A and B are shown apart, each in its own frame.
Chain A
């Protein structure tokens, strides 16, 4: 299949179908309602399930029920909606259910705005709901990568029996770009007969399955949490993804940036290079697990004098960047989160400013 021009939000819907996920529950919210509108038409064509729930709270549990019954299922929403789903996300992680969430972030806190933002980094990577759990968080920077990550998300969610979140922003959702849906990313669903409540007859078994999150015995709950932790540790070992840009030369500044913001940073890196200033860019593609070691190694580059986290938030990812850099270089932050994406010129000024004392 060749490339087709698609809006990010529509590509999300199509990618899920191509990944073999035919069940979608959602509640409308800008800037991603096009996903629901697209799938309201498309799911019936492919014999899938489309249901507009009465709230994101309910949608969260529709996903729980469907995934618990052993079917591939996903939703899309934006920040306030994800806040409402967070109760269910905690239960879904606890019950070890593979569910894919897409958060097309809008400005916050509160009702915030409807323009792009990266203000939900903490919510996505550090919790949102209660208890010790993590989502596996993928952060695409183009429509093509969004489609690929949506397709990857289902097997990842099944590999770990854990919810996966695609963290995009309004721009990723709204922008039109050419996209191709790679055939090899279509996967067969995993065998869920050991745990899903798919009905004993379906499994040909007399062994009933239970999907639950209550462990009243302290030792049992501790063991359950150790089991979850072992999955998160495995993700830390096996799933870290990032893209390195201009990191082989003698860069004097290391930028860490993801999603839409990283595209602007890339342009800034090119422009600064043309001026004779070498700047490296490390773009995390997974936010959890976070590329701690790669960032630390890059920060240790011989000419590197400073590290900066550039994000459309008031300084969230920078805390992980500091954790990665471990004090070997000064770590800075630059960002905006009203809805305007910082321009390449702004980024260039900020980067030059970091080296000012040096001139």
Chain B
């Protein structure tokens, strides 16, 4: 009997530094499976963000660059413009992409840069210890919103997929989640599709993934999955927001 389940070839053997129950690990796996299935490991360049995934390159086997906070889309632009034959993806958190890197992501999307963005939205700054992010929910307590996010003061959480889908340039923009087996399967399909659009030279592609940060949410992994389902998903709706014609 052959093997029916194995570690993707594009993942290294190194144990990750992610907290128990963190969804970063699941998302890494989905990206690696996609790279394997498409047979693109040898021409893929990943870009690690500043955030909990800064060491993502320790877990992937392909070439990697490590970004400054928020600048991954500009770096991906640089790589893709001078080497259009390479497959390039950025892997970014919500603080990275929706706060400090808002300018870079909007303009890369609007230019229709042909790379893929894996956008991990966990509604908090994970790496720095759970500060408020632009994606933090109204009333959500974080270390810098100890009384809960006050939208009167800091506005509503930013829906990046919708914001980017409003641009007129063709793109593939979708939001998925990884909180249960069914959603993980859908997320995988979306990630694969995003890479396929890139491979076909079609368009910019971005997969937002509603994720959990049990550590900084102060929850068990199981509680965190339930909180994501009950609190995040009604606001961050799952679906394709833009698909190229």
Contact = CB atoms under 8 A, between A and B. Distances in A.
Contacts of B83: 69, 71, 198-199
Interface residues of A, number: 39
A316 interface: no
Interface string B39-62: 001111101100000110100011
A356 B77 CA distance: 60
Interface string B76-104: 11111111011000000000000000011
A73 interface: yes
Interface string A36-74: 000000000000010101110111111111111101010
Given A53-B74, A214-B54, A69 B42 contact: no
A51 B79 CA distance: 12
Given A61-B104, A199-B83, A209-B63, A69 B68 contact: no
A25 interface: yes
Given A68-B65, A201-B42, A210 B75 contact: no
B63 A198 contact: yes
A298 interface: no
B65 A66 contact: no
Given A71-B82, A200-B62, A214-B66, A62 B42 contact: no
Given A23-B82, A49-B81, A64 B65 contact: yes
Interface centre among B74, B78, B83 (most CB of A within 10 A): B78
Contact of A197 (B55, B61, B64, B74): B64
A163 to B, nearest CB: 14
A295 to B, nearest CB: 37
A87 interface: yes
A208 interface: yes
A58 B44 contact: no
Nearest to A70: B83
Contacts of B43: 199-202
B67 interface: yes
Nearest to A216: B55
Interface string B197-232: 000000000000000000000000000000000000
B45 to A, nearest CB: 5
Interface centre among B62, B66, B74, B80 (most CB of A within 10 A): B74
A318 interface: no
Interface residues of B, number: 35
A88 interface: yes
Interface in A64-106: 64-69, 71, 73, 87-88, 91, 95
A311 B86 CA distance: 47
A91 B45 CA distance: 18
A213 B77 CA distance: 19
Nearest to B43: A199
Contacts of B78: 25, 61-69, 73
Given A64-B75, A65-B74, A88-B68, A197 B63 contact: yes
A202 to B, nearest CB: 7
Interface string A188-213: 00000000011111100000111111
B64 A211 contact: yes
A58 B73 CA distance: 8
Contact of B71 (A57, A71, A208): A57
Interface centre among A49, A95, A212 (most CB of B within 10 A): A212
B79 A200 contact: no
Going nearest first, the 4 A-B pairs with the smallest beta carbon separation are: A65-B78, A65-B75, A61-B74, A212-B66
23 contacts: A23-B82, A49-B81, A49-B82, A51-B81, A53-B74, A58-B71, A58-B103, A59-B74, A62-B81, A64-B78, A65-B65, A65-B80, A66-B81, A68-B79, A69-B45, A71-B82, A197-B64, A199-B83, A199-B86, A201-B42, A202-B43, A210-B66, A212-B64
Given A54-B103, A197-B64, 4 more contacts: A54-B107, A65-B79, A69-B86, A202-B43
Interface of B: 41-45, 47-48, 54-55, 57, 61-68, 71-72, 74-83, 85-86, 103-104, 107
Interface of A: 23, 25, 49, 51, 53-55, 57-69, 71, 73, 87-88, 91, 95, 197-202, 208-214
